[in-house]
Amino acid sequence: MGNEAKDKKVYFTLVIVFSLFMLFLTIFGDRGLWELNKLNNMHESIKKNIQSVKSENERLYAMIGRLKTDKHVIENIARKDFGMVKEGEIVFIFQD
């Protein structure tokens, strides 16, 4: 009977070691929970980035539409970005 008890102990130990090994792989393996969590976080970050880019595209398309149709927008950009003035306007430059 001593041999039978020893065999059960060895078998039980192997089952425990195998179970711990499988648990380790389930959590930390290439396709484990740790990696899954990391990939989910990356997925959320990419979704936010895509939404940000879509919003920026919408803003730029709206600006293109205004540049094609609204002369006041073009005039404001010419004045602000390029320092242009209308004919007959007087420009005052103040020194700080």
Predicted TM-score (pTM) above 0.85: no
The pLDDT of residue 51 is 98
The pLDDT of residue 19 is 96
The pLDDT of residue 96 is 78
Euclidean distance between the first and final Cα of the chain, in Å? 102
Residue 38: both structure tokens together: 């990391």
Alpha-carbon Rg for the chain in angstroms: 35
The pLDDT of residue 1 is 56
Q: Is the dihedral of CA 22, 26, 29, 30 positive or negative?
A: positive
Stretch (H or E) spanning 76: helix 71-82
The pLDDT of residue 10 is 93
CB 71 within 8 A of CB 78: no
pLDDT tens sequence for the chain (96 residues): 578 888 899 999 999 999 999 999 999 888 899 999 999 999 999 999 999 999 999 999 999 999 999 999 999 999 899 989 988 988 888 887
